[in-house]
Amino acid sequence: MLFLGFLPDKYIFPSVIKACAGLSTLGIGRQVHSLVSVTGFGLDTFVQSSLVHMYVKCGEMKDAHRVFDRMLDRSVVCWSALVAGYARQGYVDKANELFDEMRSFGVEPNLVSWNGLIAGFSQNGLLSKSLLILQKMHLEGFKPDGTTISCVLSVVGDLEGLPIGIQIHAYVLKQALHSDKWVVSALLDMYGKCGSPSAMMQVFYELPQMEVASCNALVAGLSRNGLVEDALKVFKQYKDNKIELNVVSWTSIIACCTQNGKDIEALQLFREMQLSGVKPNAVTIPCLLPACANIAALMHGKAAHCFSIRKGISSDVYVGSALIDMYGKCGRIVDSRHCFDSLPARNLVCWNAIMRGYAMHGMAGEAIDIFNLMQKNGHKPDFISFTCVLSACCQGGLTKEGLQYFEKMSQEYGIEARMEHYACITTLLSRAGRLKEAYSMIKEMPFEPDACVWGALLSSCRVYANVSLGEVAAEKLFKLEPNNAGNYVLLSNIYAAKGMWNEVYRVRDAMSSMGLTKNPGCSWIEIKNEVYILLAGDRSHPQMAQIIERLERLNMEMKKSGYLPDTNFVLQDVEQQDKENILCGHSEKLAVGLGLLCTPPGSALRVIKNLRICGDCHTVIKFISMFEGREIFVRDTNRFHHFKDGMCSCGDYW
DNA sequence: TTAGGGTTAG
């Protein structure tokens, strides 16, 4: 328009200025402001008003006030915008003064002015200020509307103010505002954030009408309180009632599943979302990717990556960091690094994600390089960065370096050691056989060690067959986690390794009298877009006979090459042949067996296990990698084992 | 025909 020689008029300028009222467009907005000044429209009330709004929206209060001061005719709209702007920035007195000044100029505030003031205070987290205004407003005879209430409520939950929330709810009922859809979702949101899901459900049962906003608030709130099943039920009810769900609804329910261990469900919901015609966005993808990462569903993760590229959101830092994490956890550290390198901007989460990936893969050197590089790039490591670098040192056996980083953390970086750091150092020391030092450090910890710390010590006591310390750690663990059978198993393993059979039986009796059974070993493998789950000793898979046959054939080959089954890993008191059969039924072996059957020769296999990989399986899979000429990745609870040509990337140190 | 307030997902 300008190019063609036309000038905007007083009707067009406000619209243009409104379009500039965002942080990214403020620069253009300032240019338009100059144009307004030179063309003489700077005296028009509407143009001035829109300029005030633009600056307020961008938080540029000085500029907003400068324009405002020059105005001859200040409407209530303009006063309200300025007041709200100051309130949002936390200038409480200034906002209140201006509000009163407006009246002394003969301009009466309207509902929008009151709401703007309250919204401003709420956005700044100033609950008490918002409540004061609500009270004042009420006393002056102004009836609040749904906006007023939702503004006040929006700041209640974050401050754990359930009693105040309940009071406001009572006020809502008195004012007969409980059917307002904004009020309903604000109430749901408040109760969710205040940890009162029962109150949420009460609001839900009394809903005047099912709306997408209430669905979203319900799902988010139930999820926040860990009630996944309820969230899924509510979500289904909205779906069955043909309520048109939006991208927030679907993203919320997917996030709910991934955050509560329902990864397969998350993947199914993502598919359903697409079938329903709702397009995922830059929030959906980082909510979905952890599901792919958790169960190492690489194909699903890749599909989400391709989608992000097509949609032009793969450079988003949230998407990017989720991709780095997903590839890392799916055993594709090179792809993970590629995602990291191709991000135009990285935040601390991205740096920590790639570092954690290297740590999981036992690539301590690379993790340390990243740790140094991030600082050169101006990112200060946080406590998570240190957890990553310490666990990298753990996995890589870099005991000396790990101890140095631990010391530097508090001394040079001023970061107090947390539980996870102590757990890392316990592992670091005890894996290096320095069990006594580990125990001394635990005793000197400034807070009570948790089960992770004692568990790290106990596992290493098993490796080094240290009975006395193992007993100490186990005693602590029995108190901290009375129902965790794994600790009993570890202790009895320690006794068994020393041939202390009476103690072995004593521990097992204790276990069985408490009704504890070992957490069943469970492994996953993704084959052609499908995720298969295999349980230890479970023979229900349709191809189980073939799997066993294949493993037994390999077993014979291995024995010819001098391999001895390590039956120390079998706890049951059974005959040698039975022990071998039990070993054969370990879930990671079954998953590898299924992979061998169902994938082309020579292709890589990726298996995830819910427990630490067993020593015998480790030996067997090393053999399989050589004999079958396959790369095999096994992710256990601690790290990745990359088997190739008969060797493992962990160097048999895990 | 032009200027105003609020929520929900990482």
In this structure, what token pair is assigned to residue A559? 């024995």
List pLDDT tens digits, range A489-534. Answer: 889 989 988 889 999 999 989 888 988 877 778 898 988 878 888 8
CB within 8 A of A531, min separation 6: which ones?
A264, A295, A297, A524, A525
The band of A560, judged by pLDDT with boundaries at 50, 70 and 90, is confident
Q: What percentage of chain A reaches a pLDDT higher than 70?
A: 96
- Which of A82, A89, A97 minimizes the C-alpha distance to A123? A89
Distance A347 CA to B5 C1' (A): 34
Å between A22 CA and B10 C1'? 22
Query: Could you tell me where the DSSP H helices lie in A20-175?
Result: 26-38, 45-57, 61-70, 76-88, 92-104, 111-123, 127-139, 146-153, 162-174
A8 CA to B9 C1' in angstroms comes to 40
Q: Determine the longest span between alpha carbons in chain A, in angstroms.
A: 100
A362: which 2 tokens? 């036992």
Query: Shortest CA–C1' contact from A123: which nucleotide?
Result: B6
pLDDT in tens, A71-91: 988 999 999 999 999 999 999
Structure tokens at A340: 């990291």
Asked if CATH classification 1.25.40 holds for the domain at A435-513, the reply, yes or no, is yes
Q: How confident is the model at residue A570 (pLDDT cuts 50, 70, 90)?
A: low
3-state helix, strand, coil in chain A (%, to 5): 65, 5, 30
Residue nearest to nucleotide B10 (CA to C1'): A283
Strands A640-644 and A632-635: antiparallel
Q: State the nucleotide closest to A285 in CA–C1' terms.
A: B10
Contact A611, A586 (CB under 8 A): no
Instruction: Look at strands A530-535 and A522-527 and give their pairing.
Output: antiparallel
Nucleotides of B under 7 A from a protein CB: 1-10
Report the candidate in A347, A356, A357, A285 with the shortest Cα–Cα distance to residue A314: A285
Nucleotide nearest to A144 (CA to C1'): B5
Tens-place pLDDT, residues A391-436 = 999 888 899 999 999 999 999 999 999 999 999 999 999 888 899 9
Domain locations in chain A?
A: 350-416, 435-513, 522-648
CA distance A68 to A81: 10
A122 closest-nt by C1' vs CA: B6
Produce one character per residue of A402-436: b if its CB has 16 or more CB atoms within 10 Å, e if not: bbebbeebeeeeebebeebbbbbbbbbbbbbebbe
Give yes or no for residue A537 having a pLDDT over 80. no
Q: How far is the CA of A24 from the C1' of B1 (A)?
A: 27
